[in-house]
Amino acid sequence: MLPGLPDYERGLKVANRIRSAIRRPFNISNESLDIDISIGIALYPDDGDSVAVLLEAADAAMYRAKSTGTFIEVVGHGAGQQTERRDPVASAAAQLDSGAFSLRYRPVVSATAFAVLAMSVEIDWANPAANAVPLDQMVAMPGGAALVSRLTL
């Protein structure tokens, strides 16, 4: 949250500076680690009139940045985002058998022991509206638990 951000252009400048700082490689135990981030930008009052609405809009833009590989996205004024966010469960159910879901494995690493402690498995949804919905949020939505029960490894 950046209070007083005047426009998207300034938001993009700040986001690019943050991304540049995060992307600098750093070393742990003589291993170079590269990190990247995805950032979503939403402006008050253009993209929402409350903190909750702004966070949802910025979150949707962030997931669009992740799925498109652009790393930084602004909300814009397209109605497609809100439409897809209203009923993601129905959209996901329609795509379940089409290969729109994929698994991603990530190591859980101990920075002090310099060892892989476990593997985290995440499921990604290639939503055509580019608005990803985390699985825990999907489960909480009406009909979400039934949809998630259809996912098997």
- Listed residues 59, 77, 95: the one ending a domain: 77
- Listed residues 22, 43, 77: the one ending a domain: 77
Same domain for 71 and 95: no
The tally of CA atoms less than 13 A away on the side-chain side of residue 77 is: 4
Domain that holds residue 148: 86-153
Distances, alpha carbon 26 to alpha carbons 19, 114, 116, 127, in Å: 14, 14, 18, 33
Digit-coded pLDDT (tens) for 1-49: 888 888 888 989 999 999 888 888 878 788 888 888 889 999 988 888 8
Share of the chain above pLDDT 70, in %: 69
More confident: 85 or 73: 73
Instruction: Specify the number of domains making up the chain.
Output: 2
Same domain for 73 and 16: yes
Give the 3-state secondary structure of the chain.
Answer: CCCCCCCHHHHHHHHHHHHHHHHCCEEECCEEECCCCCEEECCCCCCCCCHHHHHHHHHHHHHHHHHHCCCEEECCCCHHHHHHHHCHHHHHHHHHHHCCEEEEEEEEEECCCCEEEEEEEEEEECCCCCCCCCHHHHHHCCCHHHHHHCCCC
Same domain for 122 and 62: no
- pTM as predicted: 0.50
What's the mean per-residue pLDDT of the chain? Answer: 76
Same domain for 91 and 73: no
Residues with Cβ within 8 Å of residue 3, at least 6 apart in sequence: none
- Mean predicted confidence (pLDDT) in 136-146: 67
Same domain for 149 and 106: yes
Q: How many other C-beta atoms lie within 10 A of the C-beta of residue 31?
A: 10
Tokens 């909480």, located at residue: 140
Which two structure tokens, joined as six digits, stand for 134?
Answer: 């985390």
Same domain for 99 and 55: no
Same domain for 99 and 124: yes
Same domain for 90 and 72: no
